[in-house]
Structure 1
Amino acid sequence: MVKRSGLVRTAVAGLTVCFGAGVTQVISSETAFAADTDNSKVEKFDKYKGHQVYEYTIQNKSGLKVSVLSQGGTLHGIYVPKGAHDKRNILMSFKHTKQYYDKNAASLYVGQQIGPVGNRIHNGKFKLDGKTVSVPTNENGNTLHSGNHGFNSVRWQGEVGTYEGNPAITLRHTFNSKYIGFPGDIQATTRYVVTDNNQVKVLMSAKSTKDTVFDPTIHAYFNLGQEKTIQNQELTMNSTQRLQLNKEKVPTGKLLANTGAYDFSKAKPLKEHLDPLMKTKEQGFDTMFKVSQGDNDQIAKLSDPKTDRSVTFLSQRNALVVYSGNAIDKKLQFESGPGRQHAAIALEPQTLPDAVNHPSFGDVSLKAGETKTKEITYQVDY
């Protein structure tokens, strides 16, 4: 390490870190393996399919830490301080990259970045500029989470630094149209930012060479407490309606009123919502709720009364997909231990699913040469 005129520069195997005048800039490459600052770090995580996977870590002044993997742009952890040297990951995560893609876990998309379009596209077809577009299908003739070559399938190029004065991880990847199967070559940039008021912001941007569609999300699974399921945690939501689905979980275009187990207007244990659904085929929620924005774009809040931890979800989009971990079982070995049904809950802000086939659901178009950014914010309190 060499100091010159108040500027500190560290070079490590293709990684350059500069500190000076309150500015942090980190440039990484495939050969980069480590960079430590007061609030950011890049480390080798492991290898997947013969390629190096990196873990990017940032934290704010109070010690709230965010961890992201280069493979899949995966949100690997949000760690809340428990003590001076002890942190608790409120997300479900795996110890090894390959576990995210094992046959027992692949359909869960644990923590992965989903895009260019989240959830299902009916028959893998939609109209764009008056023409029928066909995209790759991967579930019962439909397209789920953009098919097998979506945002979660690739190694992203990453760097740690700052964004608007806050610690940030920036990931970039250009998706060739022939690979991803959607119109246009898509230049995607995703920033994970942690602020001093304990907000974790995810800013997902895209620019395409042709008119296309863009409505990404993050498939993070939350368990805020110290218990092995989310049964005693509470979820509230700014929602009075949900989408009616066909047997393949594709929206019919109709809306249903949120009554009974689907009414999240008041806080009560998730067990009271889940128990009435245990005799159904799903044994829980895999439900697309239509949401409205409250103060500061709040759409939902998950809380754990026992630990006094909570995450408030902020989004300007009109849907929250809720999946209560119905298919999680003991075959899955998470960092926190063996899996089990309802071990965690996935809460995915996006536009109402299959909007490409239902114009009234919202506009998910992206014009050629235009850049659009979709933001998800997790307000973490503990």
Structure 2
Amino acid sequence: MSLPANIQRSDFGTLPDGRPVSCYRITNASGIELRVTDYGGIILSLKTPDRQGRFDDIVLGFDSLADYLSPAYRQANPYFGALIGRYANRIGGAEFSLEGQCYRLVSNDGANSLHGGDPGFDRCLWQADTFVEARGSGLVLSRVSDDGEAGYPGRLSVRVRYLLGDDDSLEIAYHAETTRATPVNLTQHSYFNLRGEGNGDVLDHRLMLAAGAYTPVDEQLIPGGEIAPVVGTPFDFTTLTAIGARLAQHHPQLVRAGGYDHNFVLDGDEADNQGLRVAAQVVEAESGRVLEVATSEPGIQFYAGNALDGTLRGKAGQPYRRHAGLALETQHFPDSPHQPAFPGTILQPGEVYRSRTRYRFSCLAASD
């Protein structure tokens, strides 16, 4: 079947077991270009214009499958651009109890399970199908996570829809159904640098989070159930604030996480006519680029790339050093299976998991 003119498929390499991997290049009416691979649902690149009309790639990642499969990447495992599941963020002790049974997960973050364990959805090959609709074009990725995969119960059928809109937005819609009760918490793990990937750090990016509270963590970055106000702390991003403005403050939470790596509790403001509420805004003054995030989720994990250490080199050939990019992972809260006061994440048979997040791209006026 031939593809629409604005969608191109190309080979992206071969997995060790011989399965071929593809890359899909999608452009919108403004020339914004999205490249996605069916391996891990990874967003490989996202090119958007600055205030002068110059297009730059604003997400961290690589140009080859070999880089994503390399031992160096697997050891660091920053999840560049990947789909995350079954459970985004951490589950303490890599276990949980459900309906009287204890389930042991794969521990891949010390004693804890992070981003679905191993294999997580980021290391799986997905079925890819393209589509075109009135709002834009995109890709539907689907797979079945077998009962017991990475320790999780139930056969989980998952569908994720990437829509690159002609309104200069990228909308990601998640859908899942299960045969047994199981925790589900899906997200996307792109790292953004609005100046362009490989072009310095993001500490002067200004960030707004529509969150008056966050969930503090212990030394293993597991929340204890507290929902703490951000006012008077380095976690107050309720107005646009430079990411690096308060990093030097000796706050216990910044010390524990090595910087920002925390779940923020989104305010309950009224949703728009698509059921989404404002979650975040990022502004980069030099390029003029603006990123706005809206979501149906109750939380957002702000991660400032604390663990990047220059070992990995990106598409421009530059090393990704600390704070080379920031992630804004819309989600339910970490460790929710152990925290009954947090919004629930258990999906039951007969129910449908639905989640949507929209990233909108724009630029400041030349005079701003």
CA 1:356 to 1:270, structure 2 compared with 1: closer, same or farther past 3 Å? Answer: same
Which residue in the other structure is 2:366 paired with? Answer: none
Distance in 2 of aligned mates of 1:92 and 1:163: 28
User: What are the equivalent positions in structure 2 for 1:1-382 lying under 5 Å apart?
Assistant: 16-17=1-2, 35=3, 37-49=4-16, 50-81=18-49, 87-106=55-74, 107-163=77-133, 165-226=135-196, 227-258=199-230, 259-276=232-249, 280=255, 282-294=257-269, 296=272, 297-336=277-316, 337-382=318-363
Shift of 1:85: 9.8
Distance in 2 of aligned mates of 1:43 and 1:312: 30
Shift of 1:167: 0.3
Asked if 1 retains the 8 angstrom alpha-carbon contact of 2:84 and 2:122, the reply is yes
Shift of 1:290: 1.2
Shift of 1:277: 5.8
| SS across alignment from 1:280 | helix
1:133-165 deviation line (CA, Å, top 9, x unaligned): 332222222111111012112111112122565
Shift of 1:285: 1.0
CA 1:370 to 1:48, structure 2 compared with 1: closer, same or farther past 3 Å? Answer: same
Distance in 2 of aligned mates of 1:165 and 1:238: 27
CA 1:83 to 1:287, structure 2 compared with 1: closer, same or farther past 3 Å? Answer: closer
- With CA pairs under 8 Å and 6+ residues apart, which has the higher RCO, 1 or 2? 2
Distance in 2 of aligned mates of 1:163 and 1:73: 21
Q: Quick check: which has more Rg, 1 or 2?
A: 1
Distance in 2 of aligned mates of 1:273 and 1:52: 46
Shift of 1:282: 4.0
Asked if 1 retains the 8 angstrom alpha-carbon contact of 2:221 and 2:257, the reply is no
Asked if 1 retains the 8 angstrom alpha-carbon contact of 2:282 and 2:291, the reply is yes
Identity %: 24
| SS across alignment from 2:301 | strand
Shift of 1:166: 2.4
CA 1:83 to 1:264, structure 2 compared with 1: closer, same or farther past 3 Å? Answer: closer
| SS across alignment from 2:132 | strand
CA 1:165 to 1:56, structure 2 compared with 1: closer, same or farther past 3 Å? Answer: same
Q: Select between 184-193 and 46-55 the one with higher mean Cα deviation.
A: 46-55
Distance in 1 of aligned mates of 2:250 and 2:280: 21
Asked if 2 retains the 8 angstrom alpha-carbon contact of 1:355 and 1:364, the reply is yes
Distance in 1 of aligned mates of 2:224 and 2:322: 28
Distance in 1 of aligned mates of 2:152 and 2:256: 33
Shift of 1:112: 0.8
Distance in 1 of aligned mates of 2:294 and 2:190: 14
Shift of 1:61: 0.9
AA aligned opposite 2:129: E
Q: How many residues align?
A: 349
AA aligned opposite 2:85: G
1:290-339 deviation line (CA, Å, top 9, x unaligned): 11254630011111112111111111212111111111122111013211
Asked if 2 retains the 8 angstrom alpha-carbon contact of 1:215 and 1:374, the reply is no
Asked if 2 retains the 8 angstrom alpha-carbon contact of 1:261 and 1:277, the reply is no
Q: Select between 192-201 and 132-141 the one with higher mean Cα deviation.
A: 132-141
CA 1:83 to 1:39, structure 2 compared with 1: closer, same or farther past 3 Å? Answer: farther
Asked if 1 retains the 8 angstrom alpha-carbon contact of 2:50 and 2:289, the reply is no
Asked if 1 retains the 8 angstrom alpha-carbon contact of 2:51 and 2:288, the reply is no
Distance in 2 of aligned mates of 1:237 and 1:85: 27
Unaligned runs of 5+ in 2: 364-368
Asked if 2 retains the 8 angstrom alpha-carbon contact of 1:56 and 1:159, the reply is no
Unaligned runs of 5+ in 1: 1-15, 18-34
Distance in 2 of aligned mates of 1:241 and 1:83: 33
AA aligned opposite 2:28: N
Distance in 1 of aligned mates of 2:238 and 2:256: 25
Q: Select between 98-107 and 333-342 the one with higher mean Cα deviation.
A: 98-107
| SS across alignment from 2:241 | coil
Asked if 2 retains the 8 angstrom alpha-carbon contact of 1:41 and 1:160, the reply is no
| SS across alignment from 2:203 | coil
Distance in 2 of aligned mates of 1:288 and 1:149: 23
CA 1:277 to 1:171, structure 2 compared with 1: closer, same or farther past 3 Å? Answer: farther
CA 1:376 to 1:111, structure 2 compared with 1: closer, same or farther past 3 Å? Answer: same
Shift of 1:230: 0.5
CA 1:164 to 1:120, structure 2 compared with 1: closer, same or farther past 3 Å? Answer: farther
| SS across alignment from 1:152 | helix
Distance in 1 of aligned mates of 2:135 and 2:228: 43
